[in-house]
Each structure stands twice: as C-alpha cells, then as structure tokens.
Chains A and B, each alone.
Chain A
Amino acid sequence: MPITRSDPPVRRRINRAPSPLLAHSLPWLTILLGSLVPGWLLIASAPVLPPVGFLLFIAWRQLRPGLLPIWSGLPLGLFDDLYSGQPFGSAVLLWSLAAIVLEFVEARVPWRNFLTEWLLAIGLIVTYIVLCLGLNNLAGAGAPLRIILPQIVISILSYPLVGRFVAVVDRIRLTPIVVLR
C-alpha cells in the first residue's frame, strides 16, 4: 500500500521509534547495492541478468511514492553508470525519465493494484532495456535486438520478487529500534 513520507505507518512500540538514519538511508543503499550485485554474480557471455538497480529503483518508487525524490535518478544513475558498462550517462538519463513518468502516472491513476503496478513496471523495464541497447548501438556496438529478449523476460518475471524484497527491507527500515527518552 503506497504511503507518503508525511504519514508513515510507524509501528511504534512503547518507548521505541524507528531509526531516522536507517529509515532514510536503506532505500538508497539497496539501490546502490542492486547496481553492483549483478556484475559479481557471474561472468556473463550474454546479457542475462536483470538490471537489478533499476528494478529496485522502480519498486521503491512504487511502494513509497515520494520517499525517493524525483531527482534521485541523478545520483543513483551516476553510480550505476560507473559499473553497468553502458555509455556513461545513460542510467542518469533513463532513470530520471522513469522517475518523472512514474510521478505523472501516480498523479493520474491513484487507484492501483498488483497487476496495474506490474504492467506499468513492465512497460518501464522493456523501454529501459531497449533504450539501453539503442544507446549502446549509437556508441557503435551494433548488437541485434534478439540478444536482449532473454533479459527482458527474466527482468519482467523477477520484478514481483524484487517488489517483495523491497517490502521486506521496508519493514526493516521502519522497525522501532531507537529507545525514546
């Protein structure tokens, strides 16, 4: 259930409150880690792993609209570009665009369910992967469209899992651990 920053569902046990540091840093940290992890998992001969950083970025914005500011695509994208192998700046551009699109859709379509969120994410993911290939080809790679088909399928199917992961991290984020005086 999307809830804005102004009214988080704080599970306030007696004399306990969530740590503000954890609550604000965890979304950023998970996305940064998501940009790094696919590279470590295997030395791939073809694009096979989903762009985990981007999936986490969408999932966080869908679960908690407004938690990550619209401009968050700039710093997070810069970090992703350092490791993704894409032409530098492609993630900054595409993540910022995705954030703006999500913001618009959220304002126009307030009532949502699992399916509509997944469909919107599918649209964004497919566009993102295709545009990444397009930018690579502009840089001279000349790769055909068919090589990204497996990656698109894997990314679409793994998005609900990423969403579950984000939900778990969100619970950890808002666990009341700081003792109030």
Chain B
Amino acid sequence: MAPPANRRSGFSRRAQYSTFLSYTAGVVGVVVGLGLVVTSLARPEAFAGVRSVATDATEPVGQATAAGRSYGRDVFASVAGFFTSGREHARLKRELAEAKVRLVEAQAIEAENRRLKRLLALKDAEPDAVAFARLTRSTSASSRRFAIVDAGRDEGVTKGMPVRSATGLVGRILEVGATSARVLLITDTESLVPVRRATDGVPAFAQGHGDGTIRVRLINLGINPLKKGDVMVSSGSGGLYRPGTPMAVVTEILRDGAIARVLSNPSNTDFVMVEPVWGPSEPPPSAKPDDDEGD
C-alpha cells in the first residue's frame, strides 16, 4: 500500500508549529487522563454524579433496546420450542401431576406455618418492593460487572438496596441518578454476599469470580460439606440482603468451598425488583441476661 502523503513539516515555521502543537495536545490528553485515573482511584465516588447524569440521558434508548433484547430472546425461544414441543408437552404433563400433589402438601405446610407463627406472635416481615425496573444496559466490554436499571431517585431507590429478579439475587444499587441507577452485579469480583446452604444453613461467603460464576468460600474450614447441586441462599448476616433470597447452585467442589452458577442470569431477566435495604431486627433477649458479660 502506498505511504500517506508526505507530512514532513520542512522549513515552514507554521507547519513545524502545528505538528509540535498537535503532539503537545496529545500529551496533554495523556496527562489529563492520568490525573482523572489517579483521582478516581483515590476517590471512586468522585465521578458518580457525572456518570449518573450521562446514564440518565441515554435511558430512553436503553429502555428501547431492553425491550428489543427480550423480544429477540422470545423469538429464539419460540423457534426452539417448535422443535421440542412434543417432548416438552409430555414432560410438562408429568410434572404438572407431581406438582398438584406437591401443591396440596405446600398448602398444608403453609397453614401449619401460619398457625405456629400466630402461636409465637411473629409477624410476616415481607417488605414491599421499592421499584420494579428493567436492566437496560451493562458494562459488557469491561472486566467490571455493572448494570443499569431504569429506576432512580424518582422511584425512591437509594444506595445499597438489593436488586433481585423472580429467580434470585441480581446485585445491589451502587450509584443512584434521577431516573436510573447503577447496579453492582453479584458476579463482579468486588461483590461479597453472606450466604448459607438452603437445606441446613452451612455459612459461607459468595464472591463474584469475574467470569460469570460465583466463588463460594466456607467460613468453617475443615471437611467441605458442600455437594454438587446445593442451592445457596443469602443469609442476611450483616444486613443489606434479605435472608432467604436464592442466589447460586454449586457446580464444582473446591478444597475450601465451591464454584457456583448464578441462579438468576441477568441476561435472561426482563424485570428486576429493587428491595429496601434489609436490617436485622433487634436480637431476641437472651435467656440468661447475667451471662452476657461473661462471654
């Protein structure tokens, strides 16, 4: 390929100055960038305001693309369903029969649960959702895992609120704008959620692994009790996340924990629910108040 036209400045003062100035401007860009990076490393929240305004500005397009995404997913699902409908139909019939039996059992358990709760004078502490919103965009080209929801200060969203979908925990609110908010997804490496095994409450921490999976770290070291297929739910210790929100399924056992798959894949969720920050209620008074100083 031919070289570009000669851009040598020669003896022309004007050409020399303009070349020099263009390089200087480039170096100024580097210096400004370095300054911004150092500022944002020292104070990560320094540019939250600018980012929120920018995200608010593109929110309408984000909503449109979110609708388009869900439509595209439906088309693929319909095409796939066309080929597997017969098999699926038979399986669903079988499962429906089983589910009907289970439903009756569940109703009985629920009734008993209500009765026992009345006995203990406990109230159902199911908080209302703060907002229902769409995940409109994400940082799919960065190694950090952020997403944007189209609900902000206007719907009462504040920093720290957990975000969940119908199938499980998605993340928590990090920055709030006027009409949108930034969510730290649970797959981000900086996200740390206290969890427990759904069946027996083995406590652990679930940290994002960066590649879409979750690293479960057991708090009690020793023999690893986890098994493939165990469901981890949020334990609510330390507040923030409401206990019992389903989070991940263990897929691979490690020496001191496990790798787990996220239950609520954010790319498959249409709508998410922003929940109020969960705060543990007052601990029940201990049976023997005299022993409190002893331990």
Contacts and interface: CB of A to CB of B under 8 A. Distances in A.
Interface of A: 1-4, 6-7, 36, 38-52, 65-66, 69-71, 73-74, 77, 81-97, 99-100, 103, 106-107, 110-113, 132-133, 135-136, 138-144, 146-148, 151
Contacts of B37: 87-90, 92-93, 135
Nearest to A71: B25
19 contacts: A1-B1, A39-B148, A40-B62, A41-B140, A43-B69, A44-B267, A45-B265, A47-B142, A73-B33, A83-B55, A83-B58, A89-B32, A89-B35, A94-B33, A97-B33, A107-B7, A135-B41, A143-B144, A147-B211
A45 B267 contact: yes
A40 B54 contact: no
A6 B62 contact: no
Given A38-B140, A45-B266, A70 B4 contact: no
A141 B65 CA distance: 29
Q: Which 4 A-B pairs have the closest CB atoms?
A: A89-B36, A93-B33, A85-B139, A110-B3
Nearest to A91: B33
Contact of A136 (B34, B46, B143): B143
A124 B150 CA distance: 35
- The prevalent SS among residues of B at the interface is mixed
A77 B29 contact: yes
A4 B4 contact: yes
A92 B26 CA distance: 10
Contact of A1 (B2, B144, B269): B2
Interface in B17-52: 22-23, 25-30, 32-41, 44, 46-47, 50-51
A132 to B, nearest CB: 7
Contacts of A73: 26, 29, 33
Given A43-B266, A45-B265, A93-B36, A51 B141 contact: yes
A138 B277 CA distance: 29
A151 to B, nearest CB: 7
Contact of B143 (A1, A42, A132): A132
A71 B26 contact: yes
Interface string B143-177: 11111100000000000000000000000000000
Nearest to B144: A85
Interface in B84-123: none
Nearest to B139: A85
Contact of A89 (B40, B61, B141, B210): B40
Contacts, number: 214
A85 B58 CA distance: 15
Contacts of A92: 29, 32-33, 36-37
Contact of B26 (A2, A83, A103): A103
Contact of A44 (B39, B41, B140, B189): B140
A123 B147 CA distance: 29
A106 B30 CA distance: 19
B236 interface: no
Nearest to A44: B140
Nearest to B46: A88
A40 B23 CA distance: 35
Nearest to B34: A93
Given A143-B143, A147-B210, A138 B1 contact: no
Given A36-B58, A136-B142, A141-B143, A88 B40 contact: yes
A139 B189 contact: no
Contacts of A1: 1-2
Given A70-B22, A70-B23, 19 more contacts: A6-B5, A36-B58, A39-B140, A44-B139, A45-B266, A49-B140, A82-B50, A82-B51, A88-B36, A88-B50, A89-B34, A89-B37, A90-B33, A92-B33, A92-B36, A94-B33, A100-B26, A139-B40, A142-B189
Contacts of B212: 45-46
Contact of B142 (A41, A82, A107, A132): A132
